Amino acid sequence: MRGLTRRRHGFVIAVPRRLPVEPHGPVAAANPRTAPGAAVPQTAERMLWSRSVRRPHTAVVGSAAGRQRHVRIVSCLVRLSSAREEPLSSRTFYRLFARWVPDQQRFDRMWLTNLVDHRIDELLALAALQTGTDATVTTLEEDFGLCDFEGRSFPGWHHHMTLVSAAYAYGRLGREED
């Protein structure tokens, strides 16, 4: 994630609930032995619980059928916990967010992004693309032989991947015209 940010590539990525994060901004140290203003790492899930579950946002998102629906989103700004000592001012901040499921009193999948200035509905739309990615990879594996490249040289592997991609694109475009 830091590498993508350093290279100025925007991302929305699913993260584990136990990802260690720190709150963004000045924080009073919870442990008197830590330096004043030092942040105490927490898991992503705990951070969302403590920071924003009391005041979720409502976002309007579109479904595959073209209908719009309202979802409750919890979100906060965080920094990734760092093993090495870095000045707080030089560390990048990210938006941690998840859909809140009120009936079940839990979060859906958690997401982290460096696109902190984007609207939450835009971030949700980007996160929703992941579902399509899983289906696409499964189709590429089962119908187009994505994984059938064992024993090939790099040029052979590259040629195989190019043909698989072209066949998939041709199949998708042909289906849309019907």
Give me the tens of pLDDT residue by residue for the chain, a chain 178 residues long.
Answer: 778 888 889 999 999 999 999 988 655 344 444 554 556 788 999 988 886 666 667 777 766 667 777 788 888 899 988 755 555 555 688 999 998 887 777 888 899 999 999 988 888 888 888 777 888 889 999 999 998 887 778 898 899 999 999 999 998 887 655 5
Distance separating alpha carbons of residues 123 and 14, to the nearest angstrom: 12
Enumerate the domain spans of the chain.
2-118, 145-177
pTM for the structure as a whole: 0.67
Q: How far is CA 75 from CA 6, 16, 65, 122, 154, in A?
A: 23, 15, 26, 14, 43
Enumerate long-range contacts of 156-164, CB under 8 Å, 24 or more apart: 164/140
Residues 6 or more apart whose Cβ sits within 8 Å of residue 43: 17, 18, 19, 20, 21
Pseudo-torsion of CA 43, 45, 50, 56, nearest 10°? 150
